[in-house]
Amino acid sequence: MKRRFSSAAAVACLVVLAAAAPARAQDSKAPPVPAAIAAAAKPVTVNGKPIPRSRVEFIVKQRAAQGQPDNEQSRKAILDTLINQELLAQEAEKKGFAKNSDVINQVELARQNALARAVVEDYVKGHPLKEEAVRAEYDKVKAQRGGQEYRARHILVEKEDEAKDIIERLKKGEKFEDLAKQSKDPGSRDRGGDLDWAASGNFVKPFSDAMTKLEKGKYTETPVQTQFGWHVIRLDDVRTTQFPPYDQVKPQIVNLLQEQAIQAMVADLRSKAKIE
């Protein structure tokens, strides 16, 4: 049976778009500042409470990182949304929601999340990964995959006697694919027991040991026991490992190593903290 591996979350990079200064807008060589963008730079208040320009710029940065444009229409939409949110927030305060325990918890969680994200981004920025480390991880994973991949089928049952009976039926000429319909493995049962291409290390050891000893086209004549039950295994083919090139998987490796570094940093903070 195959083990499952998780892949890594990616770290987003914010793209900062610098706005032209008002004085430069009068320069004949500089592009004019669009009216809506200039308007967004002016102080905007809602019932006397200002909406900081920095808040608009923050959202612009977030959207730019997602590939969204910075133009008159988008800035007007951002400002309109912030005005609506401020109106709703003021109404909520009038109704006393600022003292509601659920609201207080949501605000505190949002505050903690923003601070935690800032610390993580600062840590990643301050600890850039060296190319040698990324390449070494690639080589390690590649070595773990081994030089060969196997295309195998199996039939999984609960009892050894059931597996022995399947082997006897195979010897009498019944097809492996047909007998696989009674397998207890739902992931391969409807595919005739096919487990697709995989390295031997992707299987639990008793399964892998039995599979790699088989000749192509042969099946195990003795039931193989694992923690999942009893298996009858057939080896269909063997090939040289198909491993993706370094440049193709480098971003995923970088994400994985960064996640590991962040987990280590958090573990260090926990070890130094007084948690009662």
* All domains of the chain in start order, with CATH: 32-126 (no CATH), 131-139+244-272 (no CATH), 148-240 (3.10.50.40)
Q: Which two tokens stand for residue 234?
A: 């057939």
Report CA 230 to chain centroid distance, whole Å: 34
The answer to whether 156 and 184 have CB atoms below 8 angstroms apart is: yes
| 239-276 tens-digit pLDDT | 998 889 999 999 999 999 999 999 999 999 999 999 99
Average pLDDT estimate for 231-246: 94
The answer to whether 53 and 40 have CB atoms below 8 angstroms apart is: yes
The answer to whether 60 and 40 have CB atoms below 8 angstroms apart is: no
pTM of the predicted protein model: 0.58
| 175-227 tens-digit pLDDT | 999 999 999 999 999 999 999 999 998 999 999 999 999 999 999 999 999 99
Percent of the chain with pLDDT over 90: 80
pLDDT of 41 higher than 80? no
